[in-house]
Amino acid sequence: MSKTETLRLSAAVSSAQRLEQLSGQIEQLRQSKHQSVEELAAALEPLAQAMAALSDETKTTLAEIQQRTREQGDRFTGQMNEATRAWNQATERAEKAASTLLCAERRLAWSHYVLAGVTGLVTAALVSVFWLWVAPPKSPEVVLDPKAVAEVLKPAVIEALKPSRRR
């Protein structure tokens, strides 16, 4: 229970007690028969003082409740402003992190492309080097004549192209 609610509750209880006392005094005033104005004034004076005191107390209590309500509203507004500021800062940090992440993703994509290109070039260079290194040596004594090779292979090719008789 908040302080304002406690204050309101105690003010209500106090007011209820005083109202009961006042109603009892008013009832006594009705039942009594006064002979003179002085007796009536004497009977009404404590009742008027009690009503004035109740009115003053109510006024003070209401002012105090209003003050506490303002204070509580100001605290709540301050808390809401702080929460809003914190959310805005968190949003800014998240946006900054997202943009940093996007830049890093772009750099990473380009670095992958560069890595793939460099890997291809290094592989091609290594294949070429090993191909030249492992290539059979050329002997100047052995020279193949394409026409002579064709003449040697011609009868085997013709025989292979003839339809077979088994079919």
Mean pLDDT value across residues 72-88: 95
- Give 166's pLDDT tier (boundaries 50, 70, 90): low
Mean pLDDT of 97-105: 94
What distances in angstroms separate CA 68 from CA 71, 79, 100, 132, one per listed residue? 5, 16, 47, 94
Average pLDDT over residues 45-70: 85
Indicate the pTM of the whole model.
Answer: 0.41
Give the per-residue pLDDT at 29: 66
Q: How would you write the chain as a 3-class SS string?
A: CCHHHHHHHHHHHHHHHHHHHHHHHHHHHHHCCCCCHHHHHHHHHHHHHHHHHHHHHHHHHHHHHHHHHHHHHHHHHHHHHHHHHHHHHHHHHHHHHHHHHHHHHHHHHHHHHHHHHHHHHHHHHHHHHHHHHHCCCCCCCCCCCHHHHHHHHHHHHHHHHCCCCCC
Residue 58 banded pLDDT, cuts 50, 70, 90: confident
Per-residue confidence (pLDDT) for residue 100, from 0 to 100: 95
What value does the mean pLDDT take over residues 28-45? 69
Query: How confident is the model at residue 86, as a pLDDT?
Result: 95
Residue 167 in this model has a pLDDT that exceeds 60: no
Average pLDDT over residues 38-56: 79
Residues ≥6 apart with Cβ < 8 Å to 11: 57, 58, 61, 65
Residue 114 has pLDDT above 80, yes or no: yes
